[in-house]
Amino acid sequence: MISDEDQERAEAYTLIGHLFKAPPGKETIDFLSEFEGDDSPLGSAVAALAAAARGASPDAVETEYGELFIYSTEKADTSPYAAVHRSGSHFGQALVDLREDLAILGIAKREGELEPEDHISAISEVMAGLIAGRLGRGADAEQAAVFFRKHVKPWMPTFAQAVAAEEGRPFYAAAGRFAQLFLEREVAHYR
């Protein structure tokens, strides 16, 4: 059994993975629009994400997603791939290192999955699984900490900050701000 705090952290990683894997459809946008925040910085980001969802349509979110993550390959700061951030190219050494660490943890790429393992959605899913005890050796805080320090901290906060700065793309700017503030909290958690 994991703590309520760890459950919330795992759910946040799951949400980040879902938001950045593909543009969310109407059902997810409607679900997000019901979120409520609080007075904390992260709670304010949750409220802003809900507000952005209320003002978004699936078509507009799909356009934002394409502009940021598919058609804008020259913008390395918003690339959803760790290798681009860490080694400057797709399929760099960061991806090799990640694959080795995933193998050690007994985690294999899903059959039929087209994205490489260093996509933000895949790394977020791994973090959620490690925290919740669904992957690796069960709920092992040290295992999650090592993975975070090696595969999340070196690039994902910078990625989230770059996405948050995309003011012309309101849905993903809000998603990026949520991810940015959550990851700042994670950096403090894993000190």
Query: Identity (one letter) of the amino acid at 105?
Result: L
User: How far is the CA of 115 from the CAs of 41, 99, 107, in angstroms?
Assistant: 32, 13, 15
Least confident range from 56-65, 80-89, 104-113, 136-145: namely: 136-145
**Average pLDDT score over residue span 86-115:** 86
- Domain tally for the chain? 1
pLDDT score, position 28? 96
CA 91 to chain centroid, in Å, comes to 19
Helices and strands counted in the chain (H then E): 10, 0
- Which range of residues forms the domain containing residue 165? 4-189
The model's confidence at residue 114, banded by pLDDT at 50, 70 and 90, is confident
**Paired strand residues for 119:** 81
The CATH code of the domain that includes 96 is 1.10.3480.10
